[in-house]
Structure 1
């Protein structure tokens, strides 16, 4: 009986790891990360920028951000690298390679 207990313990892994494996197996990790970026947009960028964001969408590993303010668009273009860094820090890995402000 002791051998069965040890065999089971060897098979046990954290739930987080199991979920990650499932997401990879079903090839939906990217979609989950996209949803996390959209859901966290206000947290990442702040309420002011969030209120002036009309739409967020992805194409490959590019994030497109449609804004309602031309001056904000210009400001964000100038700090594009930092915005990418903030998003990637939030999701925990290098997910966004490029960001386009519209």
Structure 2
């Protein structure tokens, strides 16, 4: 009777180990969800990037076609942010790590 060499589960498991980050990134790429996730990240990081005072005066915030739409309750704040639009855009994209937002529209 011939005996088979015992299968070593340690070696095969190590070959199959993939870091969780790489697995999630591959899944997002496969399902084409990375862009949507980045948009959600931009909206979620609005208060962190702009500060609590601006976040309190923000009524609505959404992304459509790489444009961030921001509805504010304060006209003076809206005017100030329109003047600093390029800085707002750069700060938001820097927070995400990619150029997700191409334009910011203040409503």
In which range does the TM-score fall when normalised by the shorter chain? 0.7 to 0.9
TM-score of the two chains, using structure 2 as the length reference: 0.82
Unaligned 5+ runs, structure 1:
none
What are the residue-to-residue correspondences of 1:50-89 with 2, within 5 Å?
50-89=55-94
Larger radius of gyration: 2
Partners of 1:88 and 1:78 lie apart in 2 by 18
Partners of 1:45 and 1:39 lie apart in 2 by 11
Shift of 1:14: 2.6
TM-score of the two chains, using structure 1 as the length reference: 0.85
Larger helix share, 1 or 2: 1
Q: Deviations over 1:14-65 (max 9, x none)?
A: 3212211211111111221122112211111000000000001111110000
Q: For residue 102 of structure 2, what is the aligned residue in structure 1?
A: 97
What are the residue-to-residue correspondences of 1:6-85 with 2, within 5 Å?
8-9=14-15, 12-85=17-90
What RMSD, in angstroms, separates the aligned Cα atoms of the two structures?
Answer: 1.9
Runs of 4+ aligned structure 1 residues displaced above 2 Å come to 4-9, 11-14
Matched length: 100
